[in-house]
Structure 1
Amino acid sequence: MADPHRGLDAQGYIAREGSLGRVRDPFRPVVAAARDRLLDVFGARLSSAYLYGSVARGTARPGRSDLDLLLVLRAAPTDADRADARTLDAALDKEFPQVDGVSTLVYDRGRLLSAAETYDMGWFVACLCTPLLGEDLAEDLPRYRPTSRLARETNGDLAARLPRWRERIARAATDDERRALDRLVARGLVRTAFTLVMPRWNGWTSDLTEMAEVFARYYPRWAPQVRAAAVAGHTPGGDPATLHLYTEELGPWLAAEYARVHGTKPA
């Protein structure tokens, strides 16, 4: 019997982590508004829509947590589709103070069900996303275990992400921009650190603090840096020295160790 506290079902597969039933009362109005407006804006172009993140898991904090949505279109998204999603995000963020930002990912059905995405965005849909509208693509996807293949396909591209993060950090001109990057990069590093050890731990969690603690069992030398990144994932400070540590110390070590243990994700 699998340990239910490690995010697995009785057969050892990663259990879907969220549900609409877990959405806390303060967030129900914004979720309902998002559902209605997605239909209004995208109409027949829409195949599916999902909720993910802390709101779907029931751990969101009013005024502190953001709302995360995944929109699945029937055809490849256009620039106009992405602009419509950004406009909707901004309107929801402005209208509902219980969320601190709204972010919508836009994909098409064919890409999410493609072989190239099966162990990346396909896994994301099947395990981390809660159905909000339309068909559930999880019905056409496999079940997933916490394997080295899953680790490689989800986070084996850290070496490729580091140069992009460096460029964005170099361009950041305000404290708000640096705080946003601190949150983004910190979360990416903690999730990569966790999936590095995920197959050995044999489980799944999306809780940043738990991710850092699991990682610390196997790599105590880097535990303080990853624990600090987990804190920054919730309350980023944007200190340039911290951002430098991410991209020049923790990040390069983690990318090299990841490649050694799991290999790198094909381009």
Structure 2
Amino acid sequence: MNGKGLAPDGTIAREGALDRVPAAFAPVVDAARARIEGEFGARLHSAYLYGSVPRGTAVPGASDLDLMLALADEPTAADRAAAGALEAALDRAFPQVDGVGVLVFGARTLLSDLERHDLGFFVACLCTPLLGEDLAERLPAYRPTPLLARETNGDLALALPGWRTRAATAATDREREVLSRGVGRRLVRTGFTLVMPRWGGWTSHLGESAELFGRHYPERVTQMRAAAATGRTPSADPAVLDMFLNDLGPWLAAEYTAVHGEKAPRP
């Protein structure tokens, strides 16, 4: 892999591996594997890690654990409830993780033509196999193209109203912190993919992403650096969320549409 996250043939290299999991997080990963097998059994097609833990950059007590489950059939309400229970159980049991997130999809959805350059890319390049058959073997190689940019993050405008509602109804600092971390990360990733085709590579590093964005949009780099910092260390300050949701976010959504167009609609 070169300095731009690419394989020798110019395609985006898979960024994580189980042998990169920091020692402090190994018990969490082992427990997650066992709980997933026990809870989902034959309904599970495969399970994956993503984020800082399989990249080897997770910090005990500060980083969260991110999991994605691919089910043999489309997920039901019971499956989503089980995923929520798994999140809570792992978060309670392991102080080295600051939050656990479990995404649940049907394997057919992940392999569908509609998701080829969004969830398919996510599986093939950003997810690390934990259990079952690796769906990446049935997906193509990916390059840092405008198509990939459009389909991964061309729907930021759709997320803003829901985030504003959550910010307005947040009753605790913890709720605001969880929201600010998620919004900060999404803004940085959107800012990076806005300039990704011009840079010609891939990174999931928040700080590097903000700086690459800033090369093309210096007037917004201070805000993007704040988003990157909040993605690592969340903030309960309402002013931070206000800047994200009512200034940087709307501007970024409009600029993204102007440069790459809108993501293909989902049902």
TM-score per shorter chain, which class?
A: over 0.9
Offset of residue 240 of structure 1: 1.3
Aligned to 1:115: 113
Aligned to 1:236: 234
SS of equivalent to 1:104:
strand
SS of equivalent to 2:3:
helix
Distance 1:4 1:129 in 2: 19
Aligned to 1:98: 96
Aligned to 2:185: 187
Aligned to 1:136: 134
Aligned to 1:218: 216
Distance 1:174 1:85 in 2: 24
For structure 2, the 5+ residue unaligned runs are none
Task: Give 1:83's match in structure 2, choosing from 81, 84, 108.
Answer: 81
For structure 1, the 5+ residue unaligned runs are none
Distance 1:126 1:11 in 2: 16
SS of equivalent to 1:4:
coil
Q: Which AA in structure 1 matches 2:148?
A: L
Distance 1:201 1:51 in 2: 27
Aligned to 2:17: 19
Offset of residue 235 of structure 1: 1.1
Q: Which AA in structure 2 matches 1:204?
A: W
Distance 1:249 1:24 in 2: 37
Offset of residue 238 of structure 1: 2.1
Name the count of aligned residue pairs: 265
Aligned to 2:257: 259
Residue 28 (structure 1) aligned with residue 34 (structure 2): no
SS of equivalent to 2:114:
helix
Normalising by structure 1, we get a TM-score of 0.97
Aligned to 1:159: 157
| Identity across the alignment (%) | 64
Residue 175 (structure 1) aligned with residue 183 (structure 2): no
Aligned to 2:69: 71
SS of equivalent to 1:132:
strand
Offset of residue 17 of structure 1: 0.1
Task: Give 1:199's match in structure 2, choosing from 194, 197, 200.
Answer: 197
Q: Which AA in structure 1 matches 2:134?
A: D
Check whether the contact 2:62–2:233 (CA below 8 A) recurs between aligned residues: no
Cα-to-partner distance string for 1:134-172 (whole Å, 9 max, x where unaligned): 001011111000100000000000111111111111111
SS of equivalent to 1:47:
strand
Q: Which moved more, 1:247-256 or 1:16-25?
A: 247-256
Distance 1:237 1:193 in 2: 20
User: Runs of 4 or more off by more than 4 Å in structure 1?
Assistant: none
Q: Which moved more, 1:244-253 or 1:134-143?
A: 244-253
Cα-to-partner distance string for 1:73-100 (whole Å, 9 max, x where unaligned): 0001111111111111211111111111
Q: Which AA in structure 1 matches 2:105?
A: Y
Normalising by structure 2, we get a TM-score of 0.97
Distance 1:99 1:244 in 2: 27
Distance 1:41 1:180 in 2: 26
Distance 1:146 1:171 in 2: 38
Check whether the contact 2:192–2:210 (CA below 8 A) recurs between aligned residues: yes
Distance 1:245 1:39 in 2: 42
Distance 1:149 1:95 in 2: 41
SS of equivalent to 1:116:
coil
SS of equivalent to 2:108:
helix
Aligned to 1:40: 38
Aligned-residue Cα RMSD (Å) equals 0.9
Aligned to 2:4: 6
Aligned to 1:127: 125
